[in-house]
Amino acid sequence: MRTRVGGTIAAVLVTALGAVGAVALGGDDDRNRAGTEAATSGPSCGAPVPKPGGGYWRCTFSDDFKGSTLDPAKWKVQTTALSGFQVNRECHVDSPRNVSVALGVLRLTVRKEAAPFTCAAGGSSWTTQYTAGTVMTWNRFDQTYGRFEFRAAFPAATQPGLHSNLWLYHRHNTYGPGRVSGEIDVAEWFSQTPGQVYPSLHYEGRVAAADTAWNCFVESPSGFHKYVLEWTPTQMRFFYDGRLCFARSWKPAAPLTAPQPFDHPFFVILTQALGGGNNAPVAGTTLPATTRVDYVRVWR
């Protein structure tokens, strides 16, 4: 997850975890997901989804957040204390004020606390007044290639200061730490440009103009929309509300060759954070701010 609207995010997530092991799109307001269930054991992703080349995707992971708590068999709350992860000196914590499940929706919230506090991050720390929420399937679920679908709503905000992301990160430092082993942003949102959502790829050899889509406009992203990645050994295709908004065949720098580094397992991460750089908080930034996730589904 890299800020493209000014500023960057500390690339510390995988290093720490490794140490421990222009289309305007309409809304998706139909919450009736009933359909013929796939005739398969294991998780259910609802009605069968056809593959572009024939046949059907097979469901491998699904969470509709139907309970009252986060399912620990599927998700782990990502904390700054665990990995040092942060965007703009906010502290990601395991608290129901920042991560909660109710009425079929996961809520990830960034907020300003009543008083400054010390945020510990491994061997370092800093003083902040902001807490945030991130969850991930690290050490629970990861996959190479497939279809990844999120139904989510970003905060209703038009001032800079907020940063949300539905993304995938490599499980192992197969080709090296950080971006060398790849990152896939399925739907990244910045409150400075509230009508756009950015799909992108990060890897050695990345070309910003080609590896990020700059024209995926979404009508009212504070409402629920479907964000989909179809990932094959030769191409990434990103669909927003059923429409293709970006397709990319990546070209890594030597000595890697495609499909490297996107040929090994990635896990799912859902993040609500503060923005950085030109998207840093301002006096008018509305807090608390919440990204809502209706479901996450993955097929192979």
pLDDT in tens, 207-227: 999 999 999 999 999 999 999
Domain locations in the chain?
Answer: 13-28+50-63+131-289
| pLDDT at residue 16, as a whole number | 46
Q: What is the mean pLDDT of the chain?
A: 89
Tell which wins on pLDDT, 204 or 27.
204
Residue 1 pLDDT grade (very low, low, confident, very high; cuts 50, 70, 90): low
Per-residue pLDDT at 40 exceeds 50: no
List, in order, residues 6 or more apart from 113 with CB less than 8 Å away.
Answer: 129, 130, 131
pTM value?
0.90
Q: Under a CB-based contact definition with an 8 Å cutoff, are residues 147 and 62 in contact?
A: no
Instruction: Name the 3-class secondary structure at 146.
Output: strand
Tens digit of pLDDT for each residue in 85-132? 999 999 999 999 999 999 999 999 999 999 999 999 978 999 999 999
Tens digit of pLDDT for each residue in 227-271? 999 999 999 999 999 999 999 999 999 999 999 999 999 999 999
Tell which wins on pLDDT, 16 or 34.
16
Residue with tokens 């024939």: 54
Q: Under a CB-based contact definition with an 8 Å cutoff, are residues 24 and 95 in contact?
A: no
Neighbouring CB atoms inside 10 A of 291's CB total 26
Tens digit of pLDDT for each residue in 180-194? 999 999 999 999 999
| pLDDT at residue 123, as a whole number | 84
Per-residue pLDDT at 4 exceeds 80: no
Per-residue pLDDT at 32 exceeds 50: no
Distance CA 4, CA 14 (A): 20
Domain 13-28+50-63+131-289 indexed as CATH 3.40.50.150: no
